[in-house]
Structure 1
Amino acid sequence: MASEREYFDLSGPLHLSNVDWKNVDHRRSVAASLVQGVYILERDRQEKRQGPQALAPPWWEFFDFQLCRQLVDDADFSIFGAIYEFKPAASNCKDLTNGNPHYIIAFRGTITKGNAFSRDVELDLHFIRNGLHQTSRFEIAIQAVRNMVATYGNLNIWLAGHSLGSAMAMLAGKTMAKTGAFLEAFLFNPPFVSAPIERIKNVKVKHGIRIASSVITAGFAFAMKVKQQNNQQQNNRSVDTFVALSAWTPGLFVHPDDHICSEYIGYFEHRKKMEEIGAGTIERLATQHSIGGLFMNAIGKESEEALHLLPSANLTLNLTPAEFFEAHGIHQWWKPDLQLKSMLYKYR
């Protein structure tokens, strides 16, 4: 049985009958709605809702988008993503100077109902182990992104995702950015795997833990560079890649009451505070590495860089108080009159 949130006319942003593509709130709301469209596509598949019974189409048709392609997992045949094309009426011709995209590639997060749940949890575990890049679902996703960029160019394409789908979009965005293709990205509630330091209420204790962690991480990274002379060239490439990524500024949308993504707040704020106390050099080295990745390299095992390591981002916080399930939900991001705070962080 369909829930109320699956019906666009009950829970969708009906106030956006005229989208202003230069308005950041409108852009965020449309991107979130198209991610919701992917969720409902999969629920339609599970419930065998087709034709007039399908509930997904209003989530993109309301904004003049058409569904070009569904992205289907090869393991369980669930729909995890979609490619949408902006197709306004002839009286409202496409105009890239208007700020609208030509295409949006969107990815859903974990679905807790139906037969997609076990596969989604498997992907969640791959993410926690920093192995999302090795999954067949990501291979399908990145091939779709590469093909779209090769055909239409990166200026015409947006990425969007929520939760696990946000991790998928972030990994795709980072992968493309390393080739010089910087895609606009809307990453809703992106997961951050670490100890929940941001949940500590005592500001001094929290800041002290972060400083200690930075010193240890930077020290470990420096020691490995000195000790492992044979890997010096590889380490330099790692640093160069991080610096090159700094030109990509994805949009991160985070709720402080969502412990799955709230650590991004401290991740970026701490970098600024370290600069203010004169420890910017330590933090610039620490922020390029994770303790887990350094440890794996130390014991001779290659480790992919942690996904949360981002040089730059436009971080938007929803400061509206909420319980966890509300704070982690995609639906919050298209609501009007939110208590939002945005900060631009650029790596130097």
Structure 2
Amino acid sequence: MGNSSSSSSGKYKKISSGESKASSSSSSSKNKKKYQMVDFALHGPKHLPPNWCQNEEHQYAVAACFINGVYVLEHERRQGRSKDDHVLARPWWDSFGYTLLQTLVDPDEGVIFGAIYLRVAAPESAPQMVMAFRGMVAGWDEISDPNTPSSSHIFSNTFSGMLKVALALQNTGSLGYYSKHGGAWLCGHSLGAAMGLIAGKFLATSGTYLDTFFFNPPIVLYYLRKGQLDFYTKSLWNDPIGLIAWNMFILAHKEYISNEGGKGFDNLVKWQPRLLVNPGDFICNGYIDYYEDRDSTKEACQLELSLPFVNPSACLVLNVGSTEECHGIKQWWDRNLNVERRPYVCVSD
């Protein structure tokens, strides 16, 4: 079962899918859509000390900023800025002593979905390398109008996501090296958190464990429990991001993740990814009930090798403070962030 903390799923107001849609469907033009949170001077955290890496909540803030840097990189690309002119994006990593080593670009669509950063001036206790993935943005990505999702959009985004996962996995070799020599972070938000979880799980089954920050990772467990018909029909309308993530997970597990002759599960148990969840966010709050209610014995947890969206061990970090936007990335660098940590460990022996 879960840890000693009581389940908080009943203490918080859960936003409905309709409320989320209303807040994210204001754009009618894919090319004119502008990402609003681009200026670090206006929107970035001002309270972090130079030794931010010594405080875990400060680490959440910096990891979220790395991800926002990816959002702003794509914003600048869409605004027609030079590939080498990252005036708006640069402060989101440069402020913490990092340089942009590489952008991860979808070769078919040309969109920037991820970035790799390298430590240049941060404290030595900070990670040497960071890989970050952004989520979807209404008006940018193909499922641009959440009021009119379609199965073709879902599966198109699924295979586009799988291509991105494949590109990400091609670049995980360096992360694996730095995880043992200087430290490495794997970060993602929303659908980007799903991509990161796939990549991290792939490495963990072979014995490479990354420090992770997965913000608002999508889970569609609620609809899955109601049966396959409800799962595909209702989640298509109420949680298309979660459905895309589910399809990505299933395909990725078939393609990349195996039990390594029985060692895969034993390796996976040792990895405890951080899942940063807002209890009011219907896209990710299913993780709370899942880990609170599950059986943590080895026999039960072994099923999780084939459940792509969960892991035998995990650390849930709940934002228990008040936030205006339950699914937004900005909440995680808020000066008044109030979190509750809930570690879950599979009893493997």
Same fold, judged at TM 0.5 (above): yes
Preserved CA contact (<8 Å) 1:103 1:157: yes
The answer to whether the aligner puts 1:146 opposite 2:173 as a matched pair is yes
Aligned residues: CA RMSD: 3.3
Residue number among 109, 119, 123 corresponding to 1:86 in the alignment: 119
Match of 1:157 in 2: 184
Shift of 1:285: 3.8
With over 3 angstroms needed to count, the CA separation of the structure-2 counterparts of 1:179 and 1:239, relative to structure 1, is closer
The answer to whether the aligner puts 1:173 opposite 2:194 as a matched pair is no
Match of 1:261 in 2: 284
- Could you tell me which amino acid in structure 2 is paired with residue 159 of structure 1? L
Shift of 1:238: 8.2
With over 3 angstroms needed to count, the CA separation of the structure-2 counterparts of 1:76 and 1:338, relative to structure 1, is same
Match of 2:17 in 1: none
Match of 1:68 in 2: 101
The higher-RCO structure (CA 8 Å, 6+ apart) is 2
2-structure distance, mates of 1:338, 1:12: 14
With over 3 angstroms needed to count, the CA separation of the structure-2 counterparts of 1:63 and 1:81, relative to structure 1, is same
Q: Residues 26-41 of structure 1 correspond to what in structure 2 (within 5 A)?
A: 26-41=58-73
Match of 1:243 in 2: 266
Match of 1:328 in 2: 327
- Could you tell me which amino acid in structure 2 is paired with residue 289 of structure 1? L
2-structure distance, mates of 1:263, 1:132: 24
Instruction: State the structure with more CA Rg.
Output: 1
Paired residue secondary structure (1:104): strand
Q: Which has the higher mean CA deviation after the structures are superposed, 25-34 or 242-251?
A: 242-251
2-structure distance, mates of 1:161, 1:18: 23
Match of 1:228 in 2: none
With over 3 angstroms needed to count, the CA separation of the structure-2 counterparts of 1:43 and 1:236, relative to structure 1, is closer
Shift of 1:249: 0.9
2-structure distance, mates of 1:106, 1:159: 6
Shift of 1:132: 7.0
Identity, % of aligned pairs? 35
Preserved CA contact (<8 Å) 1:76 1:116: no
Paired residue secondary structure (2:221): coil
Residue number among 56, 59, 62 corresponding to 2:89 in the alignment: 56
- Could you tell me which amino acid in structure 2 is paired with residue 261 of structure 1? C
With over 3 angstroms needed to count, the CA separation of the structure-2 counterparts of 1:259 and 1:154, relative to structure 1, is farther
Shift of 1:135: 2.0
2-structure distance, mates of 1:327, 1:10: 20
2-structure distance, mates of 1:43, 1:308: 29
Preserved CA contact (<8 Å) 2:35 2:72: no
With over 3 angstroms needed to count, the CA separation of the structure-2 counterparts of 1:240 and 1:33, relative to structure 1, is same
Q: Which has the higher mean CA deviation after the structures are superposed, 153-162 or 312-321?
A: 153-162
The answer to whether the aligner puts 1:343 opposite 2:348 as a matched pair is no
Match of 1:218 in 2: none
2-structure distance, mates of 1:127, 1:314: 32
Q: Which runs of 5+ in 2 are unaligned?
A: 1-31, 226-257
Paired residue secondary structure (2:135): coil
Shift of 1:181: 0.7
With over 3 angstroms needed to count, the CA separation of the structure-2 counterparts of 1:237 and 1:143, relative to structure 1, is closer
- Could you tell me which amino acid in structure 2 is paired with residue 106 of structure 1? A
Residues 212-260 of structure 1, C-alpha deviations (whole Å, 9 max, x = no match): xxxxxxxxxxxxxxxxxxxxxxx98687533320101111100011111
Paired residue secondary structure (1:56): coil
Match of 2:314 in 1: 313
The answer to whether the aligner puts 1:109 opposite 2:126 as a matched pair is no
Shift of 1:286: 4.1
With over 3 angstroms needed to count, the CA separation of the structure-2 counterparts of 1:142 and 1:154, relative to structure 1, is farther
Q: Residues 220-299 of structure 1 correspond to what in structure 2 (within 5 A)?
A: 240-271=263-294, 274=295, 284-289=298-303
Match of 1:184 in 2: 211
2-structure distance, mates of 1:47, 1:123: 28
- Could you tell me which amino acid in structure 1 is paired with residue 329 of structure 2? I
With over 3 angstroms needed to count, the CA separation of the structure-2 counterparts of 1:58 and 1:145, relative to structure 1, is same
2-structure distance, mates of 1:46, 1:134: 19
Preserved CA contact (<8 Å) 2:135 2:189: yes
- How many positions carry a matched residue from both structures? 278
Q: Looking at secondary structure, tell me which structure has more helix per residue.
A: 1
Q: Which has the higher mean CA deviation after the structures are superposed, 247-256 or 307-316?
A: 307-316
- Could you tell me which amino acid in structure 1 is paired with residue 265 of structure 2? F
TM-score normalised by L of structure 2: 0.70
